[in-house]
Structure 1
Amino acid sequence: MNYLDEFLLIAISHFFAVASPGPDFALVLKQSIQKGRNNALVTSAGIATGILVHVSYCVLGVAIVISQSPTVFAALKYLAAAYLAYIGVMALRAKPADQQAQRVQTNTQAESMVKAFSRGFLVNALNPKATLFFLSLFTLVISVETPITVQVGYGLYMAVATLVWFSFLSIVLSRSKVRAFFLRAGHWFDRGIGVVLIGLAIRVVWV
């Protein structure tokens, strides 16, 4: 109970951060519509695992190093922007798919699960805004007197909460009616997401 107030503040901050539109949301939306529910759920697991990366370096004290080293943070920012831009460009190159191509995509869906997980993991782990968020939590909200075990507990909670949130979105967005609507848009949907991802990459660099 000594850390209840601290936990509630972290939980509320995390909810608004994870619910706001960003690279994670855009990726889950794309995977849900284009690849289906299972793929999107695996992507969500990758995003949740990426959060553990941020928690790990914050708990270990690397957060202080990054916050005091503009060079390190700039490198992380450009790396994240490059990866988002890459995904966006690939989406912009999407072409109309006929029914046969869609059947092939469904049959090979299971083979893409490793890629789905890695996409989710990298998009979150390389997201500098996520870095800023966790730096803020672990340097401003969480007291230096809070035991490491409690801090790890906070991190595990945020990872699980992220998984639950994006899994919920995956289930909703991959429902047959919702998915059928977006599949009719086909390559136009992919290209739209591509523009969003490239825009996010540009924003990462310039903001």
Structure 2
Amino acid sequence: MIEALLEGISMGLLLSAMIGPVFFTLIQSSLEKGFRYAAMVAIGILVSDSLYVVLTYFGVRFLAEATYFESLLGYVGGVILIGFGISYLVKKQAVRPKNEIGEESKGKKRGAFIKGFSINGINPFVLLFWISIASLVHLKESFDSMDVWAYYVGILSTVFSIDLTKAYIAKKLAQFVTPVFMFWLNKIVGIAMIGFGIRLVWFAMG
């Protein structure tokens, strides 16, 4: 179980390194409205991810009785992860978004939760990512039910903790969020995602 937890934490660290709309939302929310508001955004993101975990895990499990499904799942999940990696490798320099949330200065914590939940939930790549994770978990024959829970807890708790950390040190972190920084971070994340994808395809072939 400890091994599954550590593997989940490593995947959570990788997921947390991705640069996207959620990242900028957390940073801007903390800078403009304070840590508590940004923390509610992070909770909304966590709930959204948790919902996707339930949907993808049990959805994959339901289909597992189909013939050759495991191999197909491995190939599809691997291709999705490799696609993620390639998209990050070819991604152009991210541009810091304009302050579009200034008009929401009177928003309450409920609005912050909804913002985090919706920004994360409406992104189709988030769903695809969790589908690939469910594929990886299903193909790990060494995982029992406790290992699966430990793996997902490792991912979700790591992502949530780092989201809170990003919000807490937003003013210090903001000075490092430059186009050059994001460019190289995207390359590193892209290579890592391709590595996970190839590993998943390898499991499917085994």
| TM over 0.5, shorter chain | yes
CA–CA separation in structure 2 for the residues paired with 1:192 and 1:49: 28
CA–CA separation in structure 2 for the residues paired with 1:174 and 1:134: 30
1:44–1:167 Cα contact (<8 Å) kept: yes
Q: How many residues align?
A: 178
* Cα deviations by residue, 1:162-185 (Å, 9 ceiling, x for unpaired): 33222221221111xx21134456
Number of the residue aligned with 1:200? 190
CA–CA separation in structure 1 for the residues paired with 2:8 and 2:194: 20
The alpha-carbon deviation at position 117 of structure 1 amounts to: 3.8
Once the two structures are overlaid, the 10-residue window that deviates more, 33-42 or 197-206, is 197-206
1:37–1:174 Cα contact (<8 Å) kept: yes
CA–CA separation in structure 1 for the residues paired with 2:8 and 2:81: 24
CA–CA separation in structure 2 for the residues paired with 1:74 and 1:117: 20
> Structure 2 unaligned runs (5+)?
30-37, 199-206
CA–CA separation in structure 1 for the residues paired with 2:194 and 2:40: 29
CA–CA separation in structure 1 for the residues paired with 2:10 and 2:59: 22
> Structure 1 unaligned runs (5+)?
1-6, 144-150
* Cα deviations by residue, 1:115-174 (Å, 9 ceiling, x for unpaired): 234057x4443126524531332xx2136xxxxxxx3x6544544443322222122111
Number of the residue aligned with 2:103? 104
After superposition, the Cα gap between the structure-2 partners of 1:185 and 1:169, relative to the gap in structure 1 and judged at 3 Å, is closer
Counterparts of 1:79-94 in structure 2, within 5 Å, are 81=84, 92-94=94-96
Number of the residue aligned with 1:14? 8
CA–CA separation in structure 2 for the residues paired with 1:71 and 1:161: 22
Number of the residue aligned with 2:72? 69
After superposition, the Cα gap between the structure-2 partners of 1:94 and 1:194, relative to the gap in structure 1 and judged at 3 Å, is farther
Alignment of 1:181 with 2:172, yes or no, is yes
CA–CA separation in structure 1 for the residues paired with 2:102 and 2:64: 47
TM-score under structure 2 length normalisation: 0.57
What letter is aligned with 2:55?
A: V
CA–CA separation in structure 2 for the residues paired with 1:10 and 1:130: 13
1:46–1:117 Cα contact (<8 Å) kept: yes
Number of the residue aligned with 1:52? 54
